[in-house]
Structure 1
Amino acid sequence: MSVKDELVELDHKNTQVVIEEVFKKYQFFKSTTFEEPEANIASSVCDEINSNVFDPEARRSFCEKVERAVDKIYAKEKFLVTERYMKDNHVTDIRMYTDVMPMSRDTYAKIRRSAFYSLAFNLSYFKIIDINELIVANCEKR
């Protein structure tokens, strides 16, 4: 049995969509703050809306888990992910592989795919995503 036979195959497109959604949430949490609602505003409707997105501790915990997941991937992948998805400068893929990390588009895509593969497992470990939804065999059953 080869090593490749032991690795789980993830659906690349679904994985990319899910990981990019995590980074959108990360960016949102990092770029906004929420104050505790004033007593006169806090109604039952506000209580229902006041889910994790408004809970500063949950937001901090989410961002910390994402950062820890990214810290565990290889240096080149980490640089790509950090520059492209975690900073607030909104760098495009084209700018990434022409200016920030000069390389071919195919090489860039290969590094990003590898980073997202590792991140999928890391983010699953931190219970941010469900890896089972990304496994090829499970995606085909839907």
Structure 2
Amino acid sequence: MNAPGQLKEKPLPGGLSIVECEIPQPQLNRFLYQLVGEDWNWTDLNAWTNAEWQALVEQDCHRTWVAYLRGAVAGYYELYRPDGVNTEIRYFGLAPQFVGQGFGGALLSQAIRSAWGWAGTQRVWVHTCTFDHPSALSNYKARGFEVYREALG
């Protein structure tokens, strides 16, 4: 996505709130990664040490938001922008009990708005693979993303 105007927004449903974690907490990011990713076989960071999590989340180029519904963690997203201009939605997803309730498009819309709201962003991008929800790619496209590259393996 190369311009904020490309966003095809889905509004937040009533009761869903999204809050930025302004004070980095590596243990929280580890928990969110496992909560959201467990059902999708996200395992690449399971072996990370606390120091590796800390090194990631304490960078100025890394930010985290958590979605809540009635006090429960409904999902989260992380933005990562090491070059100062290209913002990646690094991790994004819903907690298992909230999948299929129509929250994904709204959470993604908020992630995209957050990315464009980060001063200096010139492009927003996300990657997906077969380890994500089967509707992930269609959600990305519905929000205005264009496929840049497809790869096998």
Please, what TM-score do these two structures have when normalized by structure 1?
0.30
Q: Which has the larger radius of gyration?
A: 1
Higher helix share: 1
Structure with higher RCO (Cα < 8 A, 6+ apart): 1
